[in-house]
Amino acid sequence: MADRGYDADWFRDALEDKGIKPCIPGRKSRNEPIKYDKRRYRRRNRIEIMFGRLKDWRRVATRYGRCPTAFFSAIALAATVIFWL
């Protein structure tokens, strides 16, 4: 899922080569309309809100833990606390 700014044929082709079905609406200047799942695209703001809340946690935003396991643990802890709030 991405904004209209990522609407480029080469970007769509690269996603499809990796087996990813793009959910990107076409730009208004595009001649032929692009089909995409409108319901799924509307729900992308939940993902953006979640990343914004995770960045409120200083440890996650600045990545104090250089070890990938410790970093993932900090993300899991922050997500759990955010979920409970």
SS3 for 38-73, per residue?
HHHHHCHHHHHHHHHHHHCCHHHHHCCCCCHHHHHH
Q: Do residues 37 and 49 both lie within one domain?
A: no
pLDDT of residue 17: 94
Cβ(7)–Cβ(34) under 8 Å?
yes
For residue range 19-65, list pLDDT tens digits in order: 988 888 888 888 888 888 888 888 887 878 877 777 777 766 666 66
Residues 80 and 48 in one domain: yes
Report helix, strand or coil for 27: coil
Predicted pLDDT at 29: 84
How is residue 49 written in tokens? Answer: 């809100």
The reply to whether 37 and 8 lie within a common domain is: yes
Q: Are residues 60 and 49 in the same domain?
A: yes
Same domain, yes or no: 13 and 31: yes
Burial degree of 75 (CB within 10 A; 0-12, 13-18, 19+): middle
Q: Is the pLDDT of residue 85 over 70?
A: no
Q: 49 and 25, same structural domain?
A: no
| Whether the model pTM is above 0.85 | no
| Count of the separate structural domains present in the chain | 2
Range(s) of the domain holding residue 60: 44-84
